[in-house]
Amino acid sequence: MNNMKILFFSLITYGLVQTFLSDTVFAQGDNTQIPFTIVIHGGAGTITKESMTAEKEEAYRAKLTEALNAGYAILESGGSSIDAITLAITIMEDSPLFNAGKGAVFTSEGKNELDASIMEGKSRMAGAVAGITNIKNPILAAKAVMEKSQHVLLTGKGAEIFAEQHGLEVVDPEYFYTERRYKSLERAKQMENEEGSFIINNHTDSKFGTVGALALDKYGNLAAGTSTGGMTNKKYGRVGDSPVIGAGTFADNNSCAVSATGHGEYFIRYVVSYDVAARMIYLNETVKQAAETVVNSKLKEVGGSGGVIALDNDGNIAMPFNTSGMYRGFKKQGKKAKVYIYKD
Protein backbone atom coordinates (compact mmCIF):
# COMPACT_ATOMS: atom_id res chain seq x y z
CA MET A 1 0.00 0.00 0.00
CA ASN A 2 2.84 2.40 0.90
CA ASN A 3 4.47 1.74 -2.46
CA MET A 4 1.17 2.58 -4.22
CA LYS A 5 0.94 5.84 -2.27
CA ILE A 6 4.48 6.75 -3.18
CA LEU A 7 3.83 6.03 -6.86
CA PHE A 8 0.58 8.01 -6.79
CA PHE A 9 2.16 11.12 -5.27
CA SER A 10 5.17 10.83 -7.57
CA LEU A 11 2.92 10.91 -10.61
CA ILE A 12 1.05 13.95 -9.29
CA THR A 13 4.32 15.75 -8.54
CA TYR A 14 5.65 14.97 -12.02
CA GLY A 15 2.50 16.30 -13.60
CA LEU A 16 2.64 19.52 -11.60
CA VAL A 17 6.27 20.06 -12.54
CA GLN A 18 5.56 19.50 -16.22
CA THR A 19 2.64 21.91 -16.12
CA PHE A 20 4.78 24.52 -14.41
CA LEU A 21 7.56 24.15 -16.96
CA SER A 22 5.09 24.36 -19.84
CA ASP A 23 3.48 27.50 -18.43
CA THR A 24 6.88 29.04 -17.85
CA VAL A 25 7.99 28.44 -21.43
CA PHE A 26 4.72 29.84 -22.73
CA ALA A 27 5.02 32.92 -20.56
CA GLN A 28 8.53 33.55 -21.86
CA GLY A 29 7.29 33.60 -25.45
CA ASP A 30 9.10 30.45 -26.53
CA ASN A 31 6.04 28.39 -27.24
CA THR A 32 6.67 26.77 -30.63
CA GLN A 33 3.24 25.18 -30.84
CA ILE A 34 1.60 28.42 -31.98
CA PRO A 35 2.31 28.85 -35.73
CA PHE A 36 2.61 32.65 -35.70
CA THR A 37 1.45 34.05 -39.02
CA ILE A 38 0.69 37.32 -40.79
CA VAL A 39 -1.68 37.79 -43.75
CA ILE A 40 -2.28 40.99 -45.74
CA HIS A 41 -4.28 42.33 -48.66
CA GLY A 42 -4.00 45.46 -50.77
CA GLY A 43 -7.45 45.42 -52.34
CA ALA A 44 -9.49 43.37 -54.79
CA GLY A 45 -10.90 44.50 -58.12
CA THR A 46 -10.37 44.56 -61.86
CA ILE A 47 -6.74 43.54 -61.63
CA THR A 48 -5.48 41.61 -64.67
CA LYS A 49 -2.03 40.76 -65.97
CA GLU A 50 -2.91 42.42 -69.27
CA SER A 51 -3.50 45.76 -67.56
CA MET A 52 -0.33 45.60 -65.45
CA THR A 53 3.13 46.68 -66.57
CA ALA A 54 6.11 44.66 -65.38
CA GLU A 55 7.38 47.66 -63.40
CA LYS A 56 4.04 48.24 -61.70
CA GLU A 57 3.63 44.57 -60.82
CA GLU A 58 7.11 44.48 -59.30
CA ALA A 59 6.33 47.60 -57.26
CA TYR A 60 3.20 45.99 -55.80
CA ARG A 61 4.98 42.74 -55.04
CA ALA A 62 7.87 44.56 -53.37
CA LYS A 63 5.63 46.70 -51.16
CA LEU A 64 3.45 43.75 -50.11
CA THR A 65 6.57 41.75 -49.27
CA GLU A 66 7.98 44.65 -47.28
CA ALA A 67 4.78 44.90 -45.24
CA LEU A 68 4.71 41.15 -44.60
CA ASN A 69 8.34 40.96 -43.51
CA ALA A 70 8.01 43.96 -41.20
CA GLY A 71 4.94 42.57 -39.46
CA TYR A 72 6.46 39.11 -39.28
CA ALA A 73 9.61 40.46 -37.59
CA ILE A 74 7.45 41.73 -34.74
CA LEU A 75 5.77 38.34 -34.33
CA GLU A 76 9.09 36.51 -34.49
CA SER A 77 10.55 38.66 -31.72
CA GLY A 78 7.60 37.88 -29.45
CA GLY A 79 5.59 41.00 -30.23
CA SER A 80 1.80 41.17 -30.31
CA SER A 81 -0.49 40.53 -33.24
CA ILE A 82 -1.88 44.06 -32.84
CA ASP A 83 1.56 45.63 -33.23
CA ALA A 84 2.36 43.39 -36.20
CA ILE A 85 -0.71 44.32 -38.22
CA THR A 86 -0.40 47.99 -37.30
CA LEU A 87 3.11 48.16 -38.75
CA ALA A 88 2.15 46.21 -41.88
CA ILE A 89 -0.81 48.51 -42.55
CA THR A 90 1.13 51.73 -41.97
CA ILE A 91 3.67 50.60 -44.58
CA MET A 92 0.85 50.18 -47.10
CA GLU A 93 -0.79 53.45 -46.01
CA ASP A 94 2.48 55.28 -46.70
CA SER A 95 2.58 53.97 -50.27
CA PRO A 96 0.68 55.67 -53.14
CA LEU A 97 0.06 52.22 -54.66
CA PHE A 98 -2.97 51.49 -52.47
CA ASN A 99 -6.29 53.20 -51.81
CA ALA A 100 -5.43 53.97 -48.20
CA GLY A 101 -3.43 56.75 -46.59
CA LYS A 102 -1.14 58.37 -49.17
CA GLY A 103 -2.87 56.67 -52.13
CA ALA A 104 -6.48 57.42 -51.08
CA VAL A 105 -9.06 58.19 -53.74
CA PHE A 106 -10.96 61.49 -53.97
CA THR A 107 -14.52 62.33 -52.99
CA SER A 108 -16.80 64.25 -55.35
CA GLU A 109 -15.66 67.44 -53.57
CA GLY A 110 -12.02 66.73 -54.39
CA LYS A 111 -11.10 65.68 -50.85
CA ASN A 112 -9.53 62.56 -49.38
CA GLU A 113 -11.64 61.09 -46.56
CA LEU A 114 -10.03 58.15 -44.78
CA ASP A 115 -11.48 55.27 -42.76
CA ALA A 116 -9.83 52.54 -40.68
CA SER A 117 -10.55 49.99 -37.97
CA ILE A 118 -8.68 47.52 -35.78
CA MET A 119 -9.74 44.68 -33.46
CA GLU A 120 -8.02 42.24 -31.13
CA GLY A 121 -9.28 38.70 -30.74
CA LYS A 122 -8.50 38.09 -27.07
CA SER A 123 -10.75 40.78 -25.56
CA ARG A 124 -12.68 41.77 -28.70
CA MET A 125 -11.69 45.36 -28.05
CA ALA A 126 -11.92 47.47 -31.20
CA GLY A 127 -11.35 50.98 -32.48
CA ALA A 128 -12.26 52.80 -35.69
CA VAL A 129 -12.24 56.19 -37.39
CA ALA A 130 -14.16 57.47 -40.40
CA GLY A 131 -14.04 60.55 -42.61
CA ILE A 132 -10.70 61.90 -41.38
CA THR A 133 -8.67 64.21 -43.63
CA ASN A 134 -5.41 65.16 -41.92
CA ILE A 135 -4.09 62.18 -39.96
CA LYS A 136 -1.19 60.57 -41.82
CA ASN A 137 -1.90 57.00 -40.71
CA PRO A 138 -5.59 56.26 -40.07
CA ILE A 139 -4.83 52.81 -38.65
CA LEU A 140 -2.88 54.48 -35.81
CA ALA A 141 -5.90 56.66 -35.09
CA ALA A 142 -8.12 53.56 -34.95
CA LYS A 143 -5.64 51.89 -32.60
CA ALA A 144 -5.64 54.97 -30.36
CA VAL A 145 -9.45 54.90 -30.18
CA MET A 146 -9.29 51.24 -29.12
CA GLU A 147 -6.57 51.72 -26.50
CA LYS A 148 -7.16 55.24 -25.21
CA SER A 149 -10.89 55.88 -25.31
CA GLN A 150 -14.14 54.37 -24.10
CA HIS A 151 -15.51 54.35 -27.64
CA VAL A 152 -15.26 52.17 -30.74
CA LEU A 153 -15.90 54.57 -33.65
CA LEU A 154 -15.05 58.27 -33.95
CA THR A 155 -15.77 60.32 -37.08
CA GLY A 156 -14.70 63.49 -38.84
CA LYS A 157 -13.40 66.46 -36.90
CA GLY A 158 -13.85 64.76 -33.55
CA ALA A 159 -11.69 61.83 -34.63
CA GLU A 160 -9.03 64.24 -35.91
CA ILE A 161 -8.95 66.20 -32.63
CA PHE A 162 -8.72 62.97 -30.64
CA ALA A 163 -5.86 61.66 -32.81
CA GLU A 164 -3.93 64.93 -32.55
CA GLN A 165 -4.39 65.02 -28.76
CA HIS A 166 -2.79 61.59 -28.57
CA GLY A 167 0.29 62.58 -30.51
CA LEU A 168 -0.46 61.16 -33.96
CA GLU A 169 1.16 62.81 -36.96
CA VAL A 170 -1.00 65.51 -38.54
CA VAL A 171 -0.41 66.43 -42.18
CA ASP A 172 -1.77 69.00 -44.59
CA PRO A 173 -4.59 67.38 -46.60
CA GLU A 174 -2.47 68.04 -49.70
CA TYR A 175 -0.23 65.21 -48.51
CA PHE A 176 -2.81 62.72 -49.80
CA TYR A 177 -2.90 64.18 -53.33
CA THR A 178 -1.73 61.87 -56.12
CA GLU A 179 -2.13 62.57 -59.82
CA ARG A 180 -3.31 59.04 -60.54
CA ARG A 181 -6.22 59.24 -58.07
CA TYR A 182 -7.21 62.77 -59.14
CA LYS A 183 -7.45 61.66 -62.77
CA SER A 184 -9.75 58.85 -61.64
CA LEU A 185 -12.03 61.47 -60.09
CA GLU A 186 -11.99 63.53 -63.29
CA ARG A 187 -13.00 60.48 -65.33
CA ALA A 188 -15.85 59.74 -62.94
CA LYS A 189 -17.11 63.33 -63.09
CA GLN A 190 -16.93 63.32 -66.88
CA MET A 191 -19.04 60.17 -67.01
CA GLU A 192 -21.44 61.72 -64.51
CA ASN A 193 -21.89 64.80 -66.69
CA GLU A 194 -22.35 62.76 -69.85
CA GLU A 195 -24.91 60.39 -68.36
CA GLY A 196 -26.61 62.91 -66.11
CA SER A 197 -26.51 60.66 -63.04
CA PHE A 198 -24.34 60.04 -60.02
CA ILE A 199 -21.41 57.81 -61.01
CA ILE A 200 -19.08 55.87 -58.74
CA ASN A 201 -15.94 55.32 -60.78
CA ASN A 202 -15.49 51.67 -61.74
CA HIS A 203 -12.07 52.20 -63.32
CA THR A 204 -9.44 49.60 -62.48
CA ASP A 205 -9.33 49.01 -58.71
CA SER A 206 -10.31 52.64 -57.99
CA LYS A 207 -12.70 51.58 -55.25
CA PHE A 208 -11.08 48.30 -54.25
CA GLY A 209 -7.59 49.36 -53.10
CA THR A 210 -8.40 48.96 -49.42
CA VAL A 211 -5.57 47.47 -47.34
CA GLY A 212 -5.80 45.06 -44.44
CA ALA A 213 -3.78 42.75 -42.24
CA LEU A 214 -4.30 39.83 -39.86
CA ALA A 215 -1.92 38.17 -37.45
CA LEU A 216 -1.67 35.28 -35.01
CA ASP A 217 1.08 35.80 -32.46
CA LYS A 218 3.09 33.37 -30.32
CA TYR A 219 0.56 33.67 -27.52
CA GLY A 220 -2.37 32.54 -29.65
CA ASN A 221 -3.91 35.99 -30.02
CA LEU A 222 -5.53 37.08 -33.27
CA ALA A 223 -5.88 40.63 -34.57
CA ALA A 224 -7.38 42.29 -37.64
CA GLY A 225 -7.13 45.73 -39.20
CA THR A 226 -8.39 47.51 -42.33
CA SER A 227 -7.73 50.95 -43.86
CA THR A 228 -9.18 52.68 -46.93
CA GLY A 229 -9.84 55.86 -48.85
CA GLY A 230 -13.28 54.62 -49.86
CA MET A 231 -14.80 55.07 -53.32
CA THR A 232 -13.81 57.54 -56.00
CA ASN A 233 -16.44 60.31 -56.37
CA LYS A 234 -18.26 59.30 -53.16
CA LYS A 235 -20.74 61.86 -51.86
CA TYR A 236 -22.79 62.84 -48.81
CA GLY A 237 -20.16 61.83 -46.24
CA ARG A 238 -20.37 58.22 -47.35
CA VAL A 239 -18.74 55.63 -45.09
CA GLY A 240 -18.10 52.08 -46.26
CA ASP A 241 -17.45 48.81 -44.51
CA SER A 242 -13.79 49.28 -43.56
CA PRO A 243 -14.41 51.10 -40.25
CA VAL A 244 -17.47 48.98 -39.40
CA ILE A 245 -16.67 46.18 -36.96
CA GLY A 246 -18.25 42.94 -38.19
CA ALA A 247 -18.46 44.18 -41.79
CA GLY A 248 -14.93 45.13 -42.87
CA THR A 249 -12.99 43.92 -39.83
CA PHE A 250 -13.45 41.26 -37.17
CA ALA A 251 -11.29 39.23 -34.77
CA ASP A 252 -12.10 36.63 -32.12
CA ASN A 253 -9.66 34.12 -30.64
CA ASN A 254 -12.43 31.51 -30.59
CA SER A 255 -12.74 31.51 -34.37
CA CYS A 256 -10.78 33.77 -36.72
CA ALA A 257 -9.67 37.21 -37.82
CA VAL A 258 -11.01 38.75 -41.04
CA SER A 259 -10.32 41.85 -43.16
CA ALA A 260 -12.43 42.65 -46.20
CA THR A 261 -12.09 44.64 -49.41
CA GLY A 262 -14.73 45.38 -52.02
CA HIS A 263 -18.05 47.13 -52.57
CA GLY A 264 -18.61 48.26 -49.00
CA GLU A 265 -22.38 48.61 -49.10
CA TYR A 266 -22.74 44.87 -49.68
CA PHE A 267 -20.18 44.02 -47.02
CA ILE A 268 -22.11 46.10 -44.47
CA ARG A 269 -25.52 44.67 -45.36
CA TYR A 270 -24.27 41.09 -45.24
CA VAL A 271 -22.01 41.60 -42.18
CA VAL A 272 -19.30 39.79 -44.13
CA SER A 273 -16.41 39.60 -41.68
CA TYR A 274 -18.53 38.43 -38.76
CA ASP A 275 -20.41 36.02 -41.01
CA VAL A 276 -17.17 34.14 -41.71
CA ALA A 277 -16.52 33.76 -37.98
CA ALA A 278 -20.14 32.85 -37.24
CA ARG A 279 -20.14 30.04 -39.79
CA MET A 280 -17.07 28.58 -38.10
CA ILE A 281 -18.67 28.75 -34.65
CA TYR A 282 -22.25 27.70 -35.41
CA LEU A 283 -21.78 25.45 -38.45
CA ASN A 284 -18.37 24.07 -37.49
CA GLU A 285 -16.94 25.03 -40.89
CA THR A 286 -13.23 25.48 -41.49
CA VAL A 287 -11.97 29.00 -42.11
CA LYS A 288 -11.57 28.17 -45.79
CA GLN A 289 -15.08 26.76 -46.11
CA ALA A 290 -16.62 29.71 -44.31
CA ALA A 291 -14.74 32.40 -46.26
CA GLU A 292 -15.33 30.72 -49.63
CA THR A 293 -19.06 30.39 -48.99
CA VAL A 294 -19.48 34.00 -47.91
CA VAL A 295 -17.45 35.52 -50.77
CA ASN A 296 -18.13 33.21 -53.69
CA SER A 297 -21.70 32.15 -52.90
CA LYS A 298 -23.58 34.56 -50.64
CA LEU A 299 -21.96 37.79 -51.86
CA LYS A 300 -21.67 36.78 -55.48
CA GLU A 301 -25.34 35.79 -55.70
CA VAL A 302 -26.44 39.31 -54.74
CA GLY A 303 -23.85 41.15 -56.87
CA GLY A 304 -21.36 41.98 -54.15
CA SER A 305 -17.81 42.10 -55.48
CA GLY A 306 -14.57 41.89 -53.53
CA GLY A 307 -12.76 39.50 -51.24
CA VAL A 308 -11.51 38.77 -47.75
CA ILE A 309 -8.47 37.45 -45.99
CA ALA A 310 -9.14 35.19 -43.00
CA LEU A 311 -6.89 33.54 -40.42
CA ASP A 312 -8.00 31.06 -37.76
CA ASN A 313 -6.56 30.34 -34.32
CA ASP A 314 -4.54 27.39 -35.68
CA GLY A 315 -2.82 29.49 -38.34
CA ASN A 316 -4.95 28.30 -41.27
CA ILE A 317 -5.46 30.89 -44.01
CA ALA A 318 -8.18 31.72 -46.55
CA MET A 319 -7.96 34.46 -49.21
CA PRO A 320 -11.03 34.12 -51.49
CA PHE A 321 -12.19 36.84 -53.91
CA ASN A 322 -14.78 37.03 -56.68
CA THR A 323 -13.04 39.66 -58.81
CA SER A 324 -10.30 39.21 -61.40
CA GLY A 325 -7.56 39.84 -58.87
CA MET A 326 -6.64 40.73 -55.29
CA TYR A 327 -3.32 41.95 -53.94
CA ARG A 328 -2.58 39.52 -51.11
CA GLY A 329 0.09 37.56 -49.30
CA PHE A 330 1.12 35.77 -46.13
CA LYS A 331 4.15 34.70 -44.15
CA LYS A 332 4.10 31.74 -41.78
CA GLN A 333 6.55 30.82 -39.05
CA GLY A 334 9.89 29.82 -40.56
CA LYS A 335 8.67 30.29 -44.15
CA LYS A 336 9.33 32.85 -46.88
CA ALA A 337 6.76 35.52 -47.65
CA LYS A 338 4.36 34.61 -50.45
CA VAL A 339 2.64 37.29 -52.51
CA TYR A 340 -0.12 36.94 -55.12
CA ILE A 341 -2.03 39.31 -57.40
CA TYR A 342 -4.04 37.37 -59.96
CA LYS A 343 -6.16 34.24 -59.85
CA ASP A 344 -3.20 31.89 -59.58
Which has the closest alpha carbon to 93: 161, 21, 176, 25?
A: 176
Edge-to-edge strands, sheet with 153-155: 153-155, 126-132, 114-120, 222-228, 211-216, 37-45, 325-332, 338-342
Distance CA 262, CA 42 (A): 11
Give me the catalytic one of 37, 107, 210, 226.
210
Say if residues 77 and 219 touch (Cβ distance below 8 Å).
no
Identity of the residue numbered 217: D
**Active-site annotation holds for 210:** yes
Distance CA 89, CA 101 (A): 10
DSSP-based three-state secondary structure for 85: helix
DSSP string covering 209-269, please?
--EEEEEE-TTS-EEEEEEE---TT--TT---STTSBTTTEEE-TTSEEEEEEE-HHHHHH
**β-pairing, 338-342 with 325-332?**
antiparallel
Residues carrying an active site annotation:
210
